[in-house]
């Protein structure tokens, strides 16, 4: 049975001890809770438990219950909140999806054959057929995105090894992606994993507008929304800030010497290029030169105050933050950064850190639009549940295999194959699995990918500290 989420103010949250227990519930219930308990004059905080503590969101108040974000704007029963769940960092987890499948016999509106199923128009006539049709959604929380090979692309799709045999022409590709959070959007420098909703030179806001229209006509199979609807959705989602607010071992993450939490995040300064290692300063609205030029590696400064805390858990989080900011490893062969002659950096970055790429202060995404190929979609990492595309470069006949052509499906450029943006790294604990394809089930798996890819040789202790830190974001 669903328990109702509670809406609490900072003051009442402080008066409760330990972790607030609030179950995931349908958004209608959230709306009801808001209507009944919002405190006038104070922005409320919406909290939900997760295995490592509690996630909190601010920016949603009573009036937002009627926001078109929570309304069916299309024809298939879906709303934005079908896939963007406050309890799950405004993304969605396979655990909730499986639960929803069981509760609704696989008939919840997320289980639609337009893009919820592995193949478009899959057989969904029986429970068994639905389990099969929605296997990627149920196992990894992946939504199918169908993209055409751009006209005048530098490559062709030669063949696809498709475990589902969906069929369809080789002029298009189905890729399977995790819903990105619809919160903390203030910090974006590119919209969507492949940046396909940001046009060079255009404001991020314009990209987000295009994204809302796409979501309604695509995911929800509706007519284009009205400008008023688009703007209400946009204003709402831009107000949402979500982070972990309590950790099961370390306690509150927002009080005393720690300065985490969604309230603090709201006040974090941002402009595109705010902390860019390469001083690229893109010409687009909202960009600015960083204060000093070059990279300030101290990207996360939330838990410094816990360095000599009496609690070993708090110390671990503080150490993890320091490792993220300063632990060096060699970064080389990252197309988009230093993999190819046309990339901005010529040589390996010998003293690279996580923050070379995750550089936005206290948000952790890339502060300029710069899609990178860190190897997540490499053929060598392919699992049997994903298709493998073979692409051939028209000019040279060169061939490459990937599970997702990434940004190349947007620009048509050979050199953009398998490039993705580095997303905002907040509210991570609430929204596994990670990476665009959900290939890392846990944050430990994420670290292992980096350890292998960049031969960082993290010690067991370093890994444990990094995980403790990432879980606390
Ligand atoms: C069927 C599930 C589904 C529905 C419904 C849905 N989304 Fe999404 N959303 C996704 C997926 C998947 C992505 C990532 C796709 C990609 O990058 O290729 C995404 C990406 C986004 C992003 C981009 C965030 C970023 O960091 O770039 C925003 C914002 C967003 N959605 C908002 C919305 C809004 C607003 C609605 C309702 C109008 C909506 N979504 C409906 C699945 C969904
Ligand atoms: C060379 C650039 C680069 C470096 C260095 C780097 N990352 Fe990433 N990171 C990315 C990109 C790009 C993605 C998205 C990749 C994808 O999904 O295909 C990503 C994704 C992630 C994610 C998953 C986020 C999500 O929402 O799914 C986490 C967590 C993460 N990185 C943590 C780290 C940590 C910890 C380090 C240091 C050990 C690190 N990164 C170093 C570029 C980098």
CB 146 within 8 A of CB 203: no
Cα separation, 164 vs 457, in Å, equals: 37
Q: How far lies 285's CA from each of 136, 187, 282, 368, in Å?
A: 37, 13, 9, 12
Helix or strand or coil: residue 80? helix
In eight-state DSSP terms, residue 294 is S
Give the per-residue pLDDT at 16. 29
Q: Report the share of the chain in percent with pLDDT over 90.
A: 85
- Report residue 14's pLDDT band, with 50, 70 and 90 as the boundaries: very low
Look at residue 203 and tell me whether its pLDDT is greater than 60. Answer: yes
Cα separation, 129 vs 132, in Å, equals: 5
Cα separation, 220 vs 216, in Å, equals: 5
pTM over 0.85: yes
Atom of ligand 2 nearest to the CA of 458: 38
Give the per-residue pLDDT at 49. 96
Among all ligands shown, which has an atom nearest to the Cα of 142?
1
Among all ligands shown, which has an atom nearest to the Cα of 378?
2
Look at residue 5 and tell me whether its pLDDT is greater than 50. Answer: no
| Close Cβ partners of 261 (under 8 Å, ≥ 6 residues apart) | 56, 243, 245, 253, 254
Tell which wins on pLDDT, 2 or 238: 238
**Which residues does a 6 A CB cutoff place in the pocket of ligand 1?**
69, 78, 80, 82-84, 115, 143, 145, 177, 179-180, 182, 185, 188, 191-194, 208, 211-212, 215-216, 219-220, 233, 237, 423
Partners of residue 331 on adjacent β-strands: 349
Ligand 1 center–CA 271 separation, angstroms: 22
Nearest to 290 by CA among 274, 279, 277: 274
Residue 155 backbone dihedrals phi, psi, to 5 degrees: -145, 165
Tens digits of per-residue pLDDT, 297-320? 999 999 999 999 999 999 999 999
- Report residue 294's pLDDT band, with 50, 70 and 90 as the boundaries: confident
Neighbours of 289 (CB within 10 A): 13
Neighbours of 4 (CB within 10 A): 14
The sign one gets for the Cα dihedral 209, 240, 368, 453 is: negative
**For residues 457-469, average pLDDT:** 98
Q: How far lies 366's CA from each of 127, 273, 354, in Å?
A: 42, 9, 11
Cα separation, 468 vs 452, in Å, equals: 20
Tens digits of per-residue pLDDT, 111-125? 999 999 999 999 999
Chain centre distance of CA 248:
23
Cα separation, 279 vs 275, in Å, equals: 8
Q: Where are the domains of the chain?
A: 7-93+178-376+420-471, 143-175+377-419
Ligand 2 center–CA 432 separation, angstroms: 14
Nearest to 422 by CA among 363, 349, 467: 363
Look at residue 8 and tell me whether its pLDDT is greater than 70. Answer: no
Partners of residue 401 on adjacent β-strands: 390
Cα separation, 143 vs 397, in Å, equals: 32
Tens digits of per-residue pLDDT, 163-179? 999 999 999 999 999 99
Among all ligands shown, which has an atom nearest to the Cα of 219?
1
Pocket test for ligand 2, best of 422, 429, 438, 440 (most atoms within 8 A of CB): 422
In eight-state DSSP terms, residue 224 is P
| pLDDT, the chain, mean | 90
Nearest to 96 by CA among 137, 67, 124: 137
- Report residue 44's pLDDT band, with 50, 70 and 90 as the boundaries: low
Helix or strand or coil: residue 247? strand
Ligand 1 center–CA 303 separation, angstroms: 31
Cα separation, 189 vs 423, in Å, equals: 9
Ligand 2 center–CA 194 separation, angstroms: 14
Residue of the nearest CA to atom 39 in ligand 1?
80
Look at residue 229 and tell me whether its pLDDT is greater than 90. Answer: yes
Look at residue 33 and tell me whether its pLDDT is greater than 50. Answer: no
Cα separation, 221 vs 230, in Å, equals: 16
Give the per-residue pLDDT at 441. 98
User: Does the beta carbon of 332 lie inside 6 Å of ligand 2?
Assistant: no
Look at residue 384 and tell me whether its pLDDT is greater than 80. Answer: yes
Tens digits of per-residue pLDDT, 431-459? 999 999 999 999 999 999 999 999 999 99
Across the chain, how many H-helices and E-strands are there? 13, 12
Tell which wins on pLDDT, 61 or 241: 241
Q: How far lies 87's CA from each of 23, 55, 142, 409, in Å?
A: 8, 7, 18, 32
CA end-to-end distance (rounded Å), the chain: 29
Give the per-residue pLDDT at 148. 98
CB 437 within 8 A of CB 142: yes
Give the per-residue pLDDT at 15. 31
């Amino acid at each position: 049975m669903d328990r109702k989420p509670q809406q609490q103010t900072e003051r009442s949250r402080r008066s409760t001890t330990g972790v607030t227990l609030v179950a995931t519930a349908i958004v209608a219930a959230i709306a009801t809770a808001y209507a009944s308990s919002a405190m006038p004059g104070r922005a409320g905080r919406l909290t939900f438990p997760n295995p490592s503590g509690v996630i909190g969101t601010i920016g949603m108040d009573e009036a937002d219950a009627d926001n078109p974000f929570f309304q069916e704007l299309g024809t298939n029963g879906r709303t934005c909140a079908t896939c963007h769940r406050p309890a799950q960092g405004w993304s969605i987890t396979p655990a909730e999806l499986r639960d929803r499948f069981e509760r609704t016999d696989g008939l919840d509106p997320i289980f639609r054959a337009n893009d919820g199923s592995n193949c478009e128009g899959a057989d969904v006539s029986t429970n068994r057929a639905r389990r099969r049709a929605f296997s990627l959604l149920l196992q990894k929380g992946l939504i199918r995105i169908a993209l055409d090979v751009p006209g005048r692309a530098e490559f062709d799709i030669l063949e696809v090894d498709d475990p589902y045999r969906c069929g369809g022409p080789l002029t298009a590709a189905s890729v399977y992606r995790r819903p990105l959070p619809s919160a903390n959007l203030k910090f974006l420098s590119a919209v969507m994993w492949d940046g396909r909703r940001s046009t060079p030179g255009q404001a991020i806001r314009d990209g987000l507008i295009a994204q809302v229209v796409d979501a309604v006509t695509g995911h929800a199979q509706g007519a284009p929304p009205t400008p008023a609807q688009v703007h209400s959705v946009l204003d709402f989602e831009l107000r949402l800030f979500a982070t972990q607010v309590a950790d099961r071992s370390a306690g509150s993450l927002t009080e005393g010497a720690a300065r985490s939490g969604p309230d603090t995040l709201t006040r974090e300064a941002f402009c595109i290029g705010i902390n860019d290692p390469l001083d690229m300063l893109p010409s687009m609205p909202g960009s600015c030169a960083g204060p000093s030029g070059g990279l300030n590696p101290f990207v996360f400064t939330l838990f410094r105050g816990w360095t000599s805390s009496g609690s070993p858990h708090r110390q671990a989080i503080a150490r993890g933050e320091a490792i993220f900011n300063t632990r060096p490893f060699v970064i080389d062969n990252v197309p988009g950064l230093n993999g190819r002659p046309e990339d901005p950096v010529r040589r390996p970055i010998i003293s690279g850190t996580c923050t070379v790429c995750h550089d936005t202060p206290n948000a952790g995404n890339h502060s300029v639009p710069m899609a990178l190929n860190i190897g997540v979609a490499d053929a060598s990492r392919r699992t049997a549940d994903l298709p493998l595309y073979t692409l051939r470069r028209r000019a040279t006949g060169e061939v490459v295999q990937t599970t997702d052509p990434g940004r190349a499906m947007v620009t048509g450029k050979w050199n953009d194959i398998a490039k993705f943006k580095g997303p905002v790294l907040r509210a991570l604990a609430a929204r596994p699995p990670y990476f665009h394809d959900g290939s890392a089930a846990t944050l430990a798996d994420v670290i292992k990918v980096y350890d292998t890819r960049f031969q960082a040789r993290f010690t067991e202790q370093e890994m444990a500290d990094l995980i403790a830190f990432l879980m606390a974001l």
